[in-house]
């Protein structure tokens, strides 16, 4: 077996693919190396739900055979990856992070996983997640049958969001990339907390067939990876219409950085209050440097603010109503009590009591929000804000504990962009941009529906002149 140094585990998709095509190592050797690392280190971070060693090596052998025969399937051929455990693999356990489903197997494989297999990517593991992707709301990072997912930068900190295993696995070099999902923050948060690049696609661009449903009108699947370039390569494969997903937009995505508009032609909206008041003091210097970097690349900035709406209340009510409906059998059977987080149990029960009139009112307000955001994004090409206002929280602290005793700023700026962007189904790209107290922080770029190429072009240029996405946790124990 080829000897691999530590650098290999933090290489980009393009770098790994080039070495595979030069026959420096085989896809089987690469898969074994990552499997060994994932199986050794994944449990230390509570990030591994299920190793897929047997099927992974079969997929890797097929990739090697096709590479030998000159049959090229693109840059993901032979590349190992992990998938959040809400994506089903036929005949394999798919527990959704929750004890009531620990023995669940499903007879079908998620569309995104089938698409990745067709281009020769190698699924080496299913990754831990918050139980039921956080449906009903949860108070503790330990709301998972696997325990709290630990941040590779500091294991006293949380990896963040329901796609925590995906974020931690990429950050620790356990997989070159991973799939996560977002309903409200579950790609953005772990990408920001773990210092990796994450892409939340436009609602409907990626099929959710074979994924656990939390909110039929808000769920999205997307990649966490080393770079914006990697995210573009992955999105090109997993996007596209799917008649098995009623929410599918019927659109495909082709990653085409060569046709991107020059950054000097792009207008970016931002709110100074986000960077100067909402951001935690330790994070402000690097957030402001990131803005200066984007200006230096040619982006034209103008001040904007979100129109006044109860974004969080609307998003919360819709997710609670749809999530409790999705898990009605679990709730009414009483098996909901097997979940790990007491607040989540209570929240799922309460969601069944939401009146239809309240849900419909929230959906009407949501339509107004979508219309107003469309107007806002007619004047700018993208919005720039901190992905999270500070670094990862401690796993010992309740998630509803205020991060600061300071009073909330009067200027709301774009502080509600997480809820607003998900309500409107807008794409977002998370870019590591510095550190606060030794922990990663990140900015996010949010654009119009189906403007992923624009966001990726900006992200690619930002990462061309910075190296934050190349930083790695300093104390990864040997596998």
Q: What pLDDT was estimated at residue 406?
A: 75
In this predicted structure, which of 291-300, 311-320, 351-360, 405-414 has the lowest mean pLDDT?
Answer: 405-414
Give the pair of three-digit tokens for residue 84.
Answer: 């959040």
* Catalytic residue list: 84, 162, 186
Distance CA 150, CA 258 (A): 38
For residue 342, tell me if it sits in a domain: yes
For residue 422, tell me if it sits in a domain: no
Give the pair of three-digit tokens for residue 32.
Answer: 């074994």
* Tens digit of each residue's pLDDT (9 = 90 or more) over 347-377: 999 999 999 999 999 999 999 999 999 999 9
What's the burial of 312, exposed, middle or buried (CB within 10 Å: 0-12/13-18/19+)? middle
Percentage of the chain lying above the pLDDT 70 cut: 99
Q: What pLDDT was estimated at residue 60?
A: 98
Distance CA 82, CA 48 (A): 9
Residue 78 pLDDT class (50, 70, 90 cuts): very high
Residue 402 pLDDT class (50, 70, 90 cuts): confident
For residue 290, tell me if it sits in a domain: no
* Tens digit of each residue's pLDDT (9 = 90 or more) over 255-304: 998 898 999 999 999 999 999 999 999 999 999 999 999 999 999 999 99
* Tens digit of each residue's pLDDT (9 = 90 or more) over 187-228: 999 999 999 999 999 999 999 999 999 999 999 999 999 999
Q: What pLDDT was estimated at residue 401?
A: 85
Give the count of domains, the chain: 1
For residue 195, tell me if it sits in a domain: no
Q: What pLDDT was estimated at residue 478?
A: 67
For residue 334, tell me if it sits in a domain: yes
Residues 6+ positions from 261 with CB-CB distance below 8 Å? 454, 457
CA-nearest of 114, 112, 124, 115 to 30 is: 124
Q: What pLDDT was estimated at residue 44?
A: 96
For residue 258, tell me if it sits in a domain: no
Distance CA 10, CA 65 (A): 25
The whole-chain average pLDDT of the chain stands at 97
* Residue 2 pLDDT greater than 90, yes or no: no
* Tens digit of each residue's pLDDT (9 = 90 or more) over 447-468: 999 999 999 999 999 999 999 9
Q: What pLDDT was estimated at residue 147?
A: 97
Q: What pLDDT was estimated at residue 133?
A: 98
The mean per-residue pLDDT over the stretch 415-428 comes to 98
Distance CA 116, CA 252 (A): 15
Residue-range definition of the domain harbouring residue 340: 312-358
For residue 410, tell me if it sits in a domain: no
Q: What pLDDT was estimated at residue 1?
A: 54
* Tens digit of each residue's pLDDT (9 = 90 or more) over 48-57: 999 999 999 9
For residue 264, tell me if it sits in a domain: no
* Residue 479 pLDDT greater than 70, yes or no: no
Q: What pLDDT was estimated at residue 71?
A: 96
Pairing of strands 300-303, 267-270: parallel
């Amino acid at each position: 077996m080829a000897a691999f140094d530590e650098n290999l585990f933090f290489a980009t998709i393009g770098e790994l693919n080039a070495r595979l095509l030069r026959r420096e190592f085989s896809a089987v050797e690469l898969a074994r190396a990552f499997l060994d690392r994932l199986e050794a280190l994944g449990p230390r971070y509570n990030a591994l739900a299920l190793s897929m060693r047997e099927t992974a090596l079969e997929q890797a052998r097929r990739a090697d055979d096709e590479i030998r025969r000159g049959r090229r399937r693109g840059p993901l051929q032979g590349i190992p990856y992990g998938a959040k455990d809400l994506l089903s693999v036929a005949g394999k356990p798919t527990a959704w992070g929750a004890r009531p489903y620990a023995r669940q197997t499903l007879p079908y494989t998620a569309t995104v996983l089938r698409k990745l297999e067709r281009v020769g990517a190698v699924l080496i593991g299913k990754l831990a997640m918050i139980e039921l992707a956080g449906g009903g709301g949860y108070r503790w990072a330990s709301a998972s049958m696997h325990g709290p997912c630990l941040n590779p930068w500091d294991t006293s900190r949380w990896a963040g969001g329901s796609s925590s295993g995906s974020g931690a696995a990429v950050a620790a070099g356990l997989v070159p990339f991973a799939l996560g999902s977002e309903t409200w923050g579950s790609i953005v948060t772990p990408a920001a907390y773990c210092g990796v690049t994450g892409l939340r696609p436009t609602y409907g661009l990626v099929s959710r067939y074979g994924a656990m449903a939390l909110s039929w009108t808000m769920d999205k699947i997307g990649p966490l990876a080393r770079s914006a370039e990697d995210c573009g390569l992955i999105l090109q494969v997993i996007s596209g219409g799917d008649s098995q997903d009623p929410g599918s937009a019927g659109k495909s995505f082709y990653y085409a950085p060569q046709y991107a508009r020059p950054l000097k032609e792009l207008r970016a909206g931002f709110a100074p209050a986000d960077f100067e008041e909402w951001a935690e003091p330790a994070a402000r210097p690097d957030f402001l440097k990131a803005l200066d970097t984007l200006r230096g690349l040619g982006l034209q900035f103008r001040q904007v603010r979100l129109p006044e709406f109860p974004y969080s209340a609307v998003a919360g009510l819709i997710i609670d109503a749809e999530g409790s409906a999705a898990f009605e059998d679990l709730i009414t059977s009483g098996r909901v009590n097997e979940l790990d987080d007491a607040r989540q149990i209570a929240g799922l029960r309460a969601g069944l009591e939401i009146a239809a009139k309240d849900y419909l009112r929230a959906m009407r307000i949501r339509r107004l929000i979508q219309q107003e955001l469309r107007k806002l994004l007619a004047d700018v090409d993208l919005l720039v804000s901190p992905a999270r206002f500070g670094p990862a929280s401690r796993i010992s602290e309740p998630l509803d504990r205020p991060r600061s005793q300071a009073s909330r700023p009067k200027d709301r700026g774009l502080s509600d962009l997480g809820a607003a962007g998900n309500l409107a189904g807008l794409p977002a790209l998370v870019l590591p941009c510095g550190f606060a107290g030794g922990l990663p922080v990140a900015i996010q770029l949010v654009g119009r529906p189906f403007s992923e190429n624009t966001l990726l072009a900006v992200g690619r240029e930002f990462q061309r002149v910075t190296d934050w996405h190349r930083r790695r946790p300093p104390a990864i124990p040997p596998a």
